[in-house]
Structure 1
Amino acid sequence: MLVPQGDILIVDDNAANLDLLGAVLREREYRVRAVPSGAMALEAARRHPPELVMLDVNMPGMDGYETCEAFKKEPVLARIPIIFISALDDPLDKVKAFRVGGRDYVTKPFSAEEVLVRVEHQVNLGRLQRELEIQNQNLLDANLKLKEVNTLKTNFTTMLVHDLRSPLTVLGLVLEKLRGGGVVRDDTLGKAEDSCTRIKNLLDEMLEIYRSDTGQIPMEFSEIHPAPWLAALLGQYHLRAASAGVEFQVAIPESLPVLRGDQLKLDRALVNLVDNAFKFTSRGGAVRVEAGIEFGSGVEAGLRFLRLSVIDTGRGIPAGDLPFIFDPFRQTERSDASQGVGLGLAIVQRLVAAHRGQIRAQSQVGFGSNFSILLPC
């Protein structure tokens, strides 16, 4: 695709001058708009800002200097370069043209080649300036993003240290008591074992996040038959549901297509979602796991996905937090600090992505949440 030479607005009350200058520019394939007055030039530029204005000085009503000053007063038009083109050849006229904001000055009668060189220079200079502004803005945006990420990581590290300190304190107290020859009760040993498990889980989650960010998640793909796999995996939750006073529903059709995946990784992803559903659903509520086929649309038209949905009637996720729930470094809620820094959803998202799938989350405070994993069949 050819890039147009430039969009130029020429302003002169003399129709012959407009025709002559317009013909010179159009011969070099510039897009040209011509108007006979300063007021019309302002109106045309407001509707569609040109890359360059070529402006006569002597015009009735608003002359060229006043027109240039009016351009410079409007933020959208102020940066448009203006070349004065006039029969006035007095140095004071030229000085005034530059003082009001002109970029260049061409004296009539003009040489076509001179005009074209000056026009090309100003158009290219304007384009380079716009590209530089875009690059500067991109750098500013990237710098702000980097600062935000560093702040998030700092906060995350602080929370991680906090979450490690508590179980380490329990272990330290138990070891101190043992060193002193004291007797440690079974329940205290149980707390120490729980602390070891929490520390191990935190470190495993951190390692999993690191591996996923560096593309090093080990995967072992095999054929998975969804119905028997899900029946075996979800069977353990019926006793938990009865104990927690939560209704547990499972809707898994028998005729689901075979998929290829790492069953252990998918186990972990689904178990994480179901565990969260139980954790945030109060007694008397319900957790439902269902599976089905979903057909792609748009750029995914013709594709078929196995959909695994975990639905609960729990407390829900605030709308402001929902966009960040898969971000490992942005912890939106600390009311569950005893459960650790909460890397589970970030890991789930990465495990699903490793299967070329996607995960969606819908939630409403007070009504519950719906997490859906889509895996290509």
Structure 2
Amino acid sequence: MTNQPAKSPKADILVIDDTPENLNLLSSMLTAQGYKVRSVTKGTTGLRGAAAAPPDLILLDVNMPEMNGYEVCQQLKTNPLTREIPVIFISALGDVLDKVKAFAVGGVDYITKPFQVEEVLARIQNHLTIRQLQTQLQQQNAKLQQEIKERQQAEEKFSKAFRSSPNPIAIATIQEGRFIDVNPCFLTMSGYSLEEVIGHTADELHLGNAAESLTQTIQMLPQTGSLYNQEFEFFTKYSETKIILLSIELIDLAGVECALIIANDITERKRLENEFISLVSHELRTPLTSIMGALDILGADQLGTLNNQGKKVLTIASNNTERLIRLVNDILDLERMKSGKVFMNKVNCNAAELMVQATEAMQAMAEKSQIQIIVNPLNIELNADPDRLLQTLTNLLSNAIKFSEPGDTIWLNAELQKDNLIYVKSLNQKFPSLLISVQDRGRGIPESQLQTIFERFQQVDASDSRKKGGTGLGLAICRNIIQQHDGKIWAESILGEGSTFYIRLPIVMSQ
């Protein structure tokens, strides 16, 4: 035979009645319904049993020797172990005052003898259900109180860390990108007061050339995920420029989606880094120039005639030396611009003329690669450095040609955007903008690299510097030039379908 597991009782019920017949009747009736029943004939015994192993419900007679039911119930309600146990009185006393007294001492119900079995079972089931719900509610309340306590402790720790952090920290709403709180370190770095920051966006406070994109990054955080160590130019209230690393996390504050923005001021580190790179680059120029001169002498056969193998080696050496010279020159050019030693010579110039000049300058390279350039110039006047803008456009066209296949087409377009305003810090005013785009049908750029490609020595493929002849500094130089024109530069791309580089410049005319 198979041993069937014993069923758990529906509930544990304690019956206190001095009449054995009543005890037997109630015990057999409740046991048949699946309840566990304990029966005692004295109130004192019932009190000890209830305290030792608290039942789920107590059925209690009123008239008993030594201690009546009312006294038993009063003692049950004074004991922390038994005060929550529901007590149903069962008595032959049917007077209203008896029932009122039963409720006054803590009873939950009163059944008059002789009773109906169905009535007793129904009332027991009802009060057990009520007790179960009360227990669940108490447990949920206790859990909720614990969660509230833990949340308060976490908020206190967060608030303490937020206020005392040596790093600038800000909290902004996801929906609009508006600051709802910043710590003292943020105020120290920015120069603003708390009242000036709260309720405003990074764009409204003009916290940097990329402030508008920062606001957009915050709004897109639920879709894009966290952002870590993104380099950002930060403008203080007093027009001082700082270089910071931004990390942004999505958090929930009282049911509101917010962005936790943590900044790391690396201005001094970048200054030292730039000085080191500039120093090393300067020291490299002299020996590289000497090497290039020596290679030119060898190539002119002034020191004897080289065989074919020697000429191949000489060509490789010359090409690599030229690449190193371009690299050093690009580094020095970038560092001079970033340090403010190179100023933009801004004059009134025509955007259409610059676009046509850039196309003509790159036409030979395009024809060699069997690439067609289509230019759609826009006849509009700008106050800008024409040489530097021409340098930017030719660099973007050069990259587009390098990463296109024979037979492809590249488009150079321009569009006036009167409603898309750009803030010019030096004039403390917003102006309409000119949007220039260079579009190709090349291999494309991974989304994760669309921001980093504008950093120094960043390329989509590490082998590009060898295959394509680039230095990894062209886009960094372009970004610096555009930023010094109070403009913006960015890229959009789909892998396998091509890339589009955009330049947005304010249309400012000299007075």
TM-score interval (norm. to shorter): 0.5 to 0.7
Partners of 1:224 and 1:259 within 8 A in 2: yes
Which residue of 2 is the match for residue 183 of structure 1?
305
Return the match for 2:433 from 289, 293, 305. Answer: 305
| Secondary structure, counterpart of 2:451 in structure 1 | helix
Q: State the 1:330 CA deviation.
A: 4.5
Name the amino acid aligned to 2:505. L
Which residue of 1 is the match for residue 322 of structure 2?
197
Return the match for 2:366 from 221, 241, 260. Answer: 241
- Judged with a 3 Å threshold, the aligned counterparts in structure 2 of structure 1 residues 136 and 273 are, in CA distance, closer, same or farther, namely closer
Distance 2:302 2:295 in 1: 10
Q: State the 1:223 CA deviation.
A: 1.2
Which residue of 1 is the match for residue 397 of structure 2?
274
Partners of 1:72 and 1:78 within 8 A in 2: no
Return the match for 1:208 from 333, 344, 347. Answer: 333
Gaps of 5+ in 2: 1-136, 170-184, 186-228, 230-244, 248-263, 424-428
Distance 1:72 1:235 in 2: 69
Q: State the 1:332 CA deviation.
A: 4.6
Distance 1:128 1:203 in 2: 48
Name the amino acid aligned to 1:342. G
Which residue of 1 is the match for residue 487 of structure 2?
357
TM-score by length of 1: 0.55
| 1:30-82 deviation digits (Å, cap 9, x = unpaired) | xxxxxxxxxxxxxxxxxxxxxxxxxxxxxxx98xxx9799548964233578x
Partners of 1:316 and 1:369 within 8 A in 2: yes
Distance 2:168 2:503 in 1: 37
- Judged with a 3 Å threshold, the aligned counterparts in structure 2 of structure 1 residues 296 and 347 are, in CA distance, closer, same or farther, namely farther
Which one scores higher on RCO, CA 8 angstroms, separation ≥ 6?
1
State percent identity of aligned pairs: 24
Partners of 2:377 and 2:414 within 8 A in 1: yes
Name the amino acid aligned to 2:384. G
- Judged with a 3 Å threshold, the aligned counterparts in structure 2 of structure 1 residues 73 and 172 are, in CA distance, closer, same or farther, namely farther
| Secondary structure, counterpart of 1:333 in structure 2 | coil
Q: State the 1:374 CA deviation.
A: 1.3
Which residue of 2 is the match for residue 231 of structure 1?
356
Distance 1:80 1:345 in 2: 43
Distance 2:143 2:393 in 1: 66
Partners of 2:422 and 2:487 within 8 A in 1: no
Q: State the 1:202 CA deviation.
A: 0.5
| 1:116-136 deviation digits (Å, cap 9, x = unpaired) | xxxxxxxxx99656522x447
- Judged with a 3 Å threshold, the aligned counterparts in structure 2 of structure 1 residues 229 and 323 are, in CA distance, closer, same or farther, namely closer
| Secondary structure, counterpart of 2:151 in structure 1 | coil
| 1:216-243 deviation digits (Å, cap 9, x = unpaired) | 2222111112223322331243443333
Distance 2:496 2:158 in 1: 55
Larger Rg: 2
Partners of 1:306 and 1:376 within 8 A in 2: yes
- Judged with a 3 Å threshold, the aligned counterparts in structure 2 of structure 1 residues 136 and 276 are, in CA distance, closer, same or farther, namely closer
Name the amino acid aligned to 2:381. V
| Secondary structure, counterpart of 1:313 in structure 2 | coil
Q: State the 1:286 CA deviation.
A: 1.1
Distance 1:361 1:229 in 2: 21
Name the amino acid aligned to 2:500. N
Which residue of 2 is the match for residue 76 of structure 1?
151
TM-score by length of 2: 0.42
Partners of 2:355 and 2:393 within 8 A in 1: no
Return the match for 1:218 from 320, 323, 343. Answer: 343
Number of positions where the alignment pairs a residue of Structure 1 with one of Structure 2: 260
Q: State the 1:310 CA deviation.
A: 0.6
- Asked whether 1:293 is paired with 2:325, we answer no
Return the match for 2:387 from 260, 264, 274. Answer: 264
Distance 1:143 1:252 in 2: 37
Partners of 2:366 and 2:373 within 8 A in 1: yes
Name the amino acid aligned to 1:197. E
| Secondary structure, counterpart of 2:454 in structure 1 | coil
Name the amino acid aligned to 1:244. S
Q: State the 1:319 CA deviation.
A: 1.1
Partners of 2:437 and 2:501 within 8 A in 1: yes
| 1:126-185 deviation digits (Å, cap 9, x = unpaired) | 9656522x447969x8799689x99xx8xxx9xx99xx9xx99x9699599799955247
Q: State the 1:279 CA deviation.
A: 0.1
| Secondary structure, counterpart of 2:503 in structure 1 | strand
Distance 1:213 1:288 in 2: 30
Which residue of 2 is the match for residue 47 of structure 1?
none
Partners of 2:348 and 2:382 within 8 A in 1: yes
Distance 2:161 2:357 in 1: 64
Partners of 2:482 and 2:503 within 8 A in 1: yes
Distance 1:278 1:136 in 2: 43
Partners of 1:313 and 1:368 within 8 A in 2: yes
